[in-house]
A and B are shown apart, each in its own frame.
Chain A
Amino acid sequence: MSQINRLNSKGRIDCDSPINFTYNGRQMQGVAGDTLASALLANGVNLVGRSFKYSRPRGIVGHGAEEPNAIMQIGSGAATVPNLKATQVELYEGLESASVNGWPSVNFDLMSITGWFGRMMPPGFYYKTFMYPAKLWMTYEHFIRKAAGLGSAPVQDDPDHYDKLNQHCDLLVVGAGPAGLVAAREAARAGARVIIADEQNEFGGSLLASTNSIDGQPATSWVDELVAELNGFSNVQTLPRSTVFGYYDHNFLGILQRRTDHLGISAASGSRQRLHRVRAKRVILATGAFERPLVFAHNDIPGVMQASSVSTYINRYAVAPGQRMVLFTTNDNAYQTAIDWHRTGRALVAVVDSRPAPNGQIVQEVKDLGILVIAGSAVIEAQGGKRVKRALIAPLNADGTEITGAVQKLVCDLIACSGGWSPAIHLSSHTGAKPVWDQAIIGFKPGKSVQQERSVGACGGTYSLADCIAEGASAGAEAAKLVGCGDGAVHFPMPQVEEYSEQPPQALFLVPHTKATSRAPSQFVDMQLDVSASGIELAVREGFKSVEHIKRYTAMGFGTDQGKLGNINGMAILANALGQSIEQTGTTIFRPSYSPTTFGAIAGADVAGLFDPERYTAVHRWHQQQGAEFEDVGQWKRPWYFPQSGESMQDAVNRECLAVRNSVGILDASTLGKIDIQGPDAAEFITRIYTNSYLKLAPGKCRYGVMLKEDGMIFDDGVCACLGDNHYLMFTTTGGAAGVLAWLELWQQTEWPDLRVYFTSVTDHWTTATITGPNARKVLAQVCDDIDLDQDAFQFMDWRDGTVAGVQARVFRISFTGELSYEINVPAQYGRYLWEALIAAGEEFDITPYGTETMHVLRAEKGFIIVGQDTDGSMTPADMNMDWVVGKNKSFSFIGKRSLQRSDSVRADRKQLVGLKTLDGTQVLPEGAQVVFDPQQAIPMSMQGHVTSSYYSANMGHSIALAVVKGGHSRLGQTVHCPLADGRTIAAEIVSSVFYDPKGERQNVQ
């Protein structure tokens, strides 16, 4: 099909650069500078979709972000994008587009529900039906869901990536129409750092489609000069194709920049879209206004368009979207569309003006062109199927509420409508400023600023071009002054603008019909969601009075256009139905996004591998080379186990466990948190934090400690060593390290600033290699000759400075396995070297690297707890059978101590840590299994505890488990039961939580 609606005029397009694209599989051609919408209209395509609820045919009505109907699926495969508005899609070679609704096609839609069936579906109909029989709801819903949605989400991973830029500026100007452009220029000249962003592909806003002249030249030339001037400032950043989608607290704004969408469906290189996170000292909102549609019967038939959009297609895109136009207006402004249309040479049937006696300058000019103006009348109904065929018009009374005479038919295929203008107050509304109704402009204006911002031009209710420019200039100068640039005076001379002086518009929110609203053909308010005037009146009839209720009951404004066209009419119709003013009725609150914003762009680069940092120890590569499986622990990747070829996980763990108990194993314990604590009051401080005392801990000695939150519950544990006078090293759990440091700093800084103590996180500074097992000393002796390793010279819970494999090291004789253990700490840059030296030294003892799983089994054999696994934030030291770690005679009431005496903390039947030994030792209880006393009881069962840790112990030759059981400490020897999901119930005996070497003699190996 050829471009039957393309005009010979110029516009902003390049007719010599054809662009091929497809629409619903059909090959078409547009030109450079087209949007998908202008190209479709040029090709004579106006029917572009089916409505959401009634599947009514819908056409293009607008030319920008306000478009409710022309919703497209763009591209295919992994890079497809649903729901783009054809009015905002720039044409590129090979673009694929498809309408999103209509089955089997948008032209022939079997789902179309018109007339009677449509009438069965008023707002809220689904609340009133599909209830009986109850069990059928899921079937009903299945069919409701079938009709859901517009376009389709991709089903493959996004091939593109996205990035972010954090920006700081003195002034962010939102919107590069006349007001925004001059504001940016004034501020820039005064020296302010300015960002100016606009949603469209080029700056100029409404002037891009304007026939006004400024300073005697076409408005677009004035824009071109101004943009060139702005680009000449080094302190100005211009961002076209950039939507300011949200205005947040403290003048933080989000801008979505579409970097490559105009070039192709996927970015060839670089990021597809960029999120600018802008912190602006001042903001000027110059976001313009939306033309208000007129609500009349069947105003949704393709061929009913916004008057300003018709002008835009003619002037900017050289497209006339029809053959015979009727212009329906309530104001002078839209007469420009009659003049523009007249210039195309196509038939202009009539201008229908609702005002009784329009006589403004432009009205006269239109009349002088010989165009028929029918005053005091309205289009009360459009007729036609997939395209307008006729407009029914009728005379109205003076206030536009009643039809006063006979209906006549005008044959036409295009009805251009203008009900006046509504300021685009969305961004100001995001800040929480409450919009105020202004009867003079028949619209809501931005409320009192609550952020450092000002609205100028049409979004502030100023519609004259000259006034917009003047306002923009003074706002730009003012903003600059407020950030300390310039004197606030406007520098550049005001341009001469030729424009008509306009007569007042008429407020006409619902065009009356010969039938009552409830019986008239649907008069649509919100096209995308099929909300009609009768629907709003019905909601009021059913008792809904709040504008928010109406919005929710009818879904008005919930579409992807967020009601940019329909909302004001809807609120006015509501106000009328309630018999109150629009002011009293108020407006709904606009929320971000101003227009839809790509998830991927909001997520930015922090996805996939960069979702969260991965932390590795210095030995990580070695672990990988050994084929270790890894476990996520907090952000760390820790070796979980080291399978040898053919080994299952259980095989590997059994082998590792036996190796430790029988010879020697080696564990990378570098991930444990390490906090260096210094200061004259360090011991006092630590003693207040831990449950036990460190006041008498001598240099060279270590002590195990537990810390509680103030509620008495265990929060972290670990060993703390005295490195020297006033110098300690605190080990924390791997996951708890950051929290513990913040915890120490909290108490020191806010509660005990008098204590002189300082904390430094040294977790990453050290590599910790733990060698453990009866041969551990022999291994260490091979690589260390300056520490006396004798059992009595270097005792359990001692630490020593020394040289290990030639590296200065701290060696801690502490143990999480119950075996003779040395935790060897060296600066991390020597970590891998030390590790390999220990592996070499241990070769003759078959030193075995082991991972966290074996570590867990070995410590469970000893009944050592893991905070976060055996505790869950509701466990006290006594619950863990660790009363011994609580200093009873500490003079200071350590953190959490008081809570241990609360009535609930001293209950006898608290859950307490015990061991469980399954009666059948081959059965391993699942971790998380619940414990009951009576397995025969009916559900709901009385649960008495749960299994926290459970393993097969190769050393014991049977399974072992730790559990917390109500009153467990006094239930040793009793049998409990774990009913499992697979129907089995496993019986187990409550035993001591220490399964292995209860006397702790394994430490004493010579």
Chain B
Amino acid sequence: MKKYSGFSLFKNALSYHENWQNLWRSPKPKDDYDVIVVGGGGHGLATAYYLAKVHGITNVAVIEKGYLGGGNTARNTTIIRSNYLWDEAAQLYELSLKLWEGLSQELNYNVMFSQRGVLNLGHNLQDMRDIERRVNANRLNGIDGQVVTPERIKEIAPLINISKDCRYPILGASWQPRGGTARHDAVAWGYARGADALGVDLIQETEVTGIRRKNGAVVGVETTQGFIGARKVACVTAGNSGVVAAMAGLRLPVESRPLQALVSEPVKPCLDTVVMSNAVHGYISQSDKGDLVIGAGVDGYNGYGQRGSFHVIEHTLQAICELFPAFSRVRMNRQWGGVVDTCPDACPIISKTSVDGLYFNCGWGTGGFKATPGSGYVFADTVANDHPHPLAAAFNVDRFNTGALIDEHGAAGVAH
């Protein structure tokens, strides 16, 4: 792999960019792999990368039915933060955040991770109690964060409306300065390039149609290119996890829901940070291109259609106009949807299964992108050792039977 740098750019410009290398090969699948990763999104590619990089397992294939990073990696609003409430979630997301902080250098690919901070707004007294609780927990977990006043919020995001006269006034927020955004596609491409350089085969346009088992253990996958053998199969297929699980006769406690997002036309920089509000249901940041990137809440029904219902978009923009009345005259350029796999406790599943050699990493719901490096890291470890990584242990699928849920949305109840 030839290293990227300002100098390499200069050198290639001299030769009219005619000599750049492929970011990755396009190999024919081998007959047999040590590990097959099903799903070539960010999490799958990160899993393959860390399998090769950390565990020296390089006889790995990533099988992707479409193109690399074409699922939720390509469709999210790129928010990165680690200020989760419960220890288990916070520690996993914090590992991820720490990996983000060195990721461009680790991959020699600029993923444009930009730590411009994340505000989570509170609009009523219970929101503020929850924010206090979460920020206190974060602090004692070693995660940066503070509770900030409306006046401080106004300094951070000058166009925000902190008037007390609006329907749900802003009472305060949690502020995580280390949070931010990254260039979503670049994350997939960077991991793909890195994994490929370590020998991982990236096989695109190939759909897994079955999971072959023998004596309760996985032996490979059926694909549209034929059978490919594997000692271990690691499934990282987000919204399609239930479909893939069914191939192995398994059911998962996940439901696939549309999650919508939209961008405005590019406007001159006017919002330097990420602003999120659960109470009014909207979140917003501004990309380096100038687009306002806006995320909606999850649609009400199960759906694999990569689109949702328009009234959800309407409600989201009502929330955005509440928070930023000046944005009312800005225009929506494009809207789209992804398919998110949601768990009952809004936390992921990183788990072995009842089938030997078959592993699942799914259920990230709306929180998957920010977890990409950490998810890949602990999942690779879990697969390599056939034993949960310490930070993955709590995310075992058995928790739905024992009741040991990690209820990230349980903390958002409405008081009296």
* A contacting B, Cβ–Cβ less than 8 Å: yes
A residues with a Cβ closer than 8 A to B are 52, 79-83, 116, 119-120, 122, 125-132, 134, 137-138, 141, 144-146, 148-158, 160, 162, 246, 248-249, 252, 254, 277, 432, 516, 518-519, 534, 538, 541-546, 548-549, 552-553, 555, 558, 560, 562, 591-593, 596-600, 602-604, 606-612, 614, 631-634, 711-713, 733-736, 852, 866-869, 871-874, 899, 902-905, 926-930, 932, 939-941, 943, 946, 948, 979-981
The answer on a CB contact under 8 Å between B114 and A869 is no
The answer on a CB contact under 8 Å between A141 and B402 is no
Chain B residue, CB-CB nearest to A126: B110
Question: Which residues from A are CB-within-8-Å of B307?
Answer: 248-249, 432
Chain A residue, CB-CB nearest to B190: A127
Q: Which of B9, B287, B321 contacts A607 (CB 8 A)?
A: B321
The answer on a CB contact under 8 Å between A542 and B22 is yes
The answer on a CB contact under 8 Å between A593 and B129 is no
Q: Is B132 close to A, CB under 8 A?
A: yes
Q: Which of A153, A549, A593 contacts B326 (CB 8 A)?
A: A153
Q: Is B353 close to A, CB under 8 A?
A: no
Q: Is B349 close to A, CB under 8 A?
A: no
24 A-B pairs with C-beta separation under 8 A: A82-B265, A127-B189, A131-B5, A141-B112, A148-B266, A149-B267, A152-B268, A153-B292, A155-B270, A542-B21, A596-B332, A599-B331, A602-B313, A602-B317, A611-B166, A633-B414, A712-B403, A713-B410, A873-B413, A899-B403, A928-B131, A929-B132, A939-B139, A940-B87
**Chain A nearest CB: distance from B262 CB in Å?**
9
Question: For the complex, what is the distance from the CA of A929 to the CA of B128, rounded to whole Å?
Answer: 12
**Chain A nearest CB: distance from B410 CB in Å?**
3
Question: Which residues from A are CB-within-8-Å of B105?
Answer: 131-132, 134
**Chain A nearest CB: distance from B272 CB in Å?**
8
The answer on a CB contact under 8 Å between A157 and B414 is no
Q: Given A131-B104, A137-B113, A548-B70, 7 more contacts at CB 8 Å?
A: A82-B265, A128-B5, A152-B270, A598-B329, A599-B327, A608-B322, A711-B344
Question: For the complex, what is the distance from the CA of A130 to the CA of B161, rounded to whole Å?
Answer: 35
With contacts A593-B334, A603-B328, A940-B140 known, is A148 near B22, CB below 8 A? no
The answer on a CB contact under 8 Å between B314 and A150 is no
Chain A residue, CB-CB nearest to B111: A127
Question: For the complex, what is the distance from the CA of A596 to the CA of B265, rounded to whole Å?
Answer: 7
Which residues 77-107 in B have Cβ within 8 Å of A in the complex?
87, 91, 102, 104-105
Question: Which residues from B are CB-within-8-Å of A633?
Answer: 124, 414-416
Chain B residue, CB-CB nearest to A950: B129
The answer on a CB contact under 8 Å between A598 and B331 is yes
Q: Which of B70, B286, B415 contacts A866 (CB 8 A)?
A: B415
Question: For the complex, what is the distance from the CA of A732 to the CA of B288, rounded to whole Å?
Answer: 48
The answer on a CB contact under 8 Å between A562 and B334 is yes
B residues with a Cβ closer than 8 A to A are 4-6, 8-10, 12-13, 16-18, 20-26, 66-68, 70, 74, 87, 91, 102, 104-105, 108-115, 123-126, 128-137, 139-142, 146-147, 159, 161, 166-168, 183, 185-186, 189-190, 204, 264-270, 280, 286-290, 292, 305, 307, 309-310, 313-314, 317-322, 325-336, 344, 399, 401-405, 407, 409-416
Question: Which residues from A are CB-within-8-Å of B17?
Answer: 119, 122, 518, 534, 538, 541
Most chain A CB within a 10 A radius of its CB, from B20, B321, B409? B321
The answer on a CB contact under 8 Å between A927 and B132 is yes
The answer on a CB contact under 8 Å between A79 and B129 is no
Please give me the 6 A-B residue pairs with the lowest Cβ-Cβ distance, nearest first: A873-B410, A928-B132, A149-B290, A735-B414, A928-B133, A600-B328
The answer on a CB contact under 8 Å between B168 and A612 is yes
Question: Which residues from A are CB-within-8-Å of B16?
Answer: 119, 516, 518-519, 534
Question: Which residues from B are CB-within-8-Å of A604?
Answer: 314, 318
The answer on a CB contact under 8 Å between B146 and A80 is no
The answer on a CB contact under 8 Å between B416 and A137 is no
Question: For the complex, what is the distance from the CA of A746 to the CA of B105, rounded to whole Å?
Answer: 54
Question: For the complex, what is the distance from the CA of A146 to the CA of B129, rounded to whole Å?
Answer: 38
The answer on a CB contact under 8 Å between A943 and B137 is yes
The answer on a CB contact under 8 Å between B140 and A546 is no
Question: Which residues from A are CB-within-8-Å of B414?
Answer: 633-634, 733, 735-736, 868
Question: Which residues from A are CB-within-8-Å of B132?
Answer: 926-929
Question: Which residues from B are CB-within-8-Å of A144?
Answer: 288
**Chain A nearest CB: distance from B195 CB in Å?**
13
The answer on a CB contact under 8 Å between B140 and A939 is yes
The answer on a CB contact under 8 Å between A560 and B136 is no
The answer on a CB contact under 8 Å between A156 and B4 is no
Chain A residue, CB-CB nearest to B167: A611
The answer on a CB contact under 8 Å between A119 and B5 is no
**Chain B nearest CB: distance from A527 CB in Å?**
14
Chain A residue, CB-CB nearest to B19: A541
Question: Which residues from B are CB-within-8-Å of A518?
Answer: 16-18
Q: Which of B12, B115, B305, B314 contacts A138 (CB 8 A)?
A: B115
Question: For the complex, what is the distance from the CA of A150 to the CA of B280, rounded to whole Å?
Answer: 29
The answer on a CB contact under 8 Å between A543 and B288 is no
Chain A residue, CB-CB nearest to B66: A546
The answer on a CB contact under 8 Å between A562 and B314 is no
With contacts A560-B266, A596-B265, A939-B142 known, is A546 near B135, CB below 8 A? no
The answer on a CB contact under 8 Å between A873 and B265 is no
**Chain B nearest CB: distance from A656 CB in Å?**
17
**Chain A nearest CB: distance from B139 CB in Å?**
6
Question: For the complex, what is the distance from the CA of A906 to the CA of B248, rounded to whole Å?
Answer: 33
With contacts A134-B104, A632-B168, A981-B139 known, is A560 near B133, CB below 8 A? no
With contacts A542-B21, A867-B413, A928-B133 known, is A128 near B327, CB below 8 A? no
The answer on a CB contact under 8 Å between B402 and A631 is no
With contacts A151-B268, A600-B328, A927-B129 known, is A546 near B204, CB below 8 A? yes
The answer on a CB contact under 8 Å between A902 and B402 is yes
Question: For the complex, what is the distance from the CA of A47 to the CA of B407, rounded to whole Å?
Answer: 58
Question: For the complex, what is the distance from the CA of A150 to the CA of B8, rounded to whole Å?
Answer: 30
Question: Which residues from A are CB-within-8-Å of B410?
Answer: 713, 872-874
The answer on a CB contact under 8 Å between A131 and B320 is no
The answer on a CB contact under 8 Å between B288 and A141 is yes
Question: Which residues from B are CB-within-8-Å of A157?
Answer: 161, 325-326, 328
**Chain A nearest CB: distance from B1 CB in Å?**
12
The answer on a CB contact under 8 Å between A134 and B267 is no
The answer on a CB contact under 8 Å between B332 and A929 is no
The answer on a CB contact under 8 Å between A127 and B186 is yes
Question: Which residues from B are CB-within-8-Å of A155?
Answer: 159, 270, 326
